[in-house]
Structure 1
């Protein structure tokens, strides 16, 4: 299922303790390919597959990840998690092998696995801080630090269900790893997402037509089966407002939100598009 990021030979998952004895908890401790390239699990359970010069892309920081954990832990995006899970239930087959590209803290993958039985799951993200959380929340998943713009560490035609939620899209690689007929779920924000606090929180603008752009970018390999608009209201505390700003791209910059100046609660709109794509046969 996995490929070595150095030589592209298959990677084997090994569970071993001292002197080759299996760990009591059965946790995967290292990955190794036939050529001897080995990747040890971090203490928190994830594997770092970044090689060579690393990556030029800025990953989410520990502070951004903590803000996301705190915000999502409040249940504010639960309707979105429900919509993703519902789409998977409607379109994915039985016991899918799931790949979450840009998994972050594992929030959406965990929600899906609570409703959908899977054969295996793999969580990819460029942030080791995020994958520490994923590994904790998803003990049965393989959580891998990697750069989505490089060849993914997944074998050809292995994935039945791919999640891509607020994350970059390397469509040719998606097509390579997805089996014929596999389902890809892509989530993007709508222009009016968080509009009530966008200026106050210093959030980046969202271009109109993102769903159309996504469909065009996927069209060489995938057919769009459905696009669901998911919109709901949230009542946020000042801390929630700060966290929702800090957990996204704006979190890479200094935020000047004075939580003491905010009202006790703010009514804020959440708005997304959940697009369902199916991999065409004999492409990728």
Structure 2
């Protein structure tokens, strides 16, 4: 999978020592000691240290490694296998610490996989999962691949930007988006808010008319959290975060629903 320069959009080439990427305009990027590439330009950062912080990354890693969301990953992998052929080029946008990315690599036949996240802390953690996945610090608004070069893009609970994805995908490429359903963590939300509002989190509005939905699966099950650590890790993964931690500080265990939709899109004609 070819990466492109975030400055001039020319193709980046790897030097003989495999430690530096350089384009024809002599912009260069060194591989970090952990193995990733940082292609996020300073002027494209919204803060000094964008994205999830180390505490959030550690919590998500511990929670996902415990298998609570394994059915979500399994369904994602099933759809990815269904909508790709042999040796696909795949990008996981907002890959976090790489839990779903690694599962995709283990599922897809001879896939070239790129994990992209704006958080340097997330990508550093992701590097520990696999050395054969290309890990990049970057923005989904500026996907660092050539236009029309990817077979599949995946977004799991992350930012959705239709135009950059449409540019990056091949004409017959697909996009899979995992997003929360109305019942997702409902018991948790009931416990911390006086009124639980149902919101429309469907990705179609973010994609506009550039994509057509062709398939969808719902993954709906209960999880039982039997320790404070597990509860804390879940809190840190959600937008409810610190509020939930304070409201449920005395709970020793908690049961709640997981309600995730996985929608498959193709580019509109």
Per the TM superposition, whether the score is higher than 0.5 is: yes
Counterpart residue number, 1:34? 24
Output aligned runs, 1:40-59, within 5 Å: 40-56=30-46, 58-59=50-51
Distance change in 2, residues 1:79/1:71 (3 Å): same
Whether 1:267 aligns to 2:255 is: yes
Work out whether residues 191 and 247 of structure 2, in 8 Å CA contact, stay in contact via their aligned partners in 1. no
Distance change in 2, residues 1:158/1:124 (3 Å): same
Counterpart residue number, 1:24? none
TM superposition shift of 1:29: 2.2
TM superposition shift of 1:100: 0.7
Distance change in 2, residues 1:195/1:109 (3 Å): same
Distance change in 2, residues 1:278/1:230 (3 Å): same
- Number of residues of Structure 1 aligned to a counterpart in Structure 2: 263
Structure 2 distance, partners of 1:216, 1:195, is: 23
TM superposition shift of 1:133: 1.7
Counterpart residue number, 1:71? 63
1:210 to 201, 208, 218: 201
SS class of match (1:210) = coil
Output aligned runs, 1:153-164, within 5 Å: 153-164=144-155
**TM-score, normalised on structure 2?**
0.90
Distance change in 2, residues 1:209/1:94 (3 Å): same
SS class of match (2:107) = coil
Counterpart residue number, 2:117? 125
Structure 1 distance, partners of 2:151, 2:197, is: 30
Q: Which runs of 4+ in 1 moved over 6 A?
A: none
Whether 1:229 aligns to 2:227 is: no
SS class of match (2:209) = coil
Aligned-residue RMSD, C-alpha:
2.1
Where structure 2 has 5 or more consecutive residues not aligned to the other structure, the ranges are: none
1:152 to 106, 129, 143: 143
Distance change in 2, residues 1:256/1:76 (3 Å): closer
Distance change in 2, residues 1:3/1:197 (3 Å): same
Structure 2 distance, partners of 1:107, 1:14, is: 30
Work out whether residues 246 and 255 of structure 1, in 8 Å CA contact, stay in contact via their aligned partners in 2. no
Distance change in 2, residues 1:233/1:48 (3 Å): same
Work out whether residues 45 and 136 of structure 1, in 8 Å CA contact, stay in contact via their aligned partners in 2. no
TM superposition shift of 1:161: 0.9
Counterpart residue number, 1:23? none
Structure 1 distance, partners of 2:158, 2:197, is: 14
Whether 1:175 aligns to 2:160 is: no
Counterpart residue number, 2:87? 95
Distance change in 2, residues 1:276/1:261 (3 Å): same
2:157 to 149, 154, 166: 166
Structure 2 distance, partners of 1:55, 1:8, is: 18
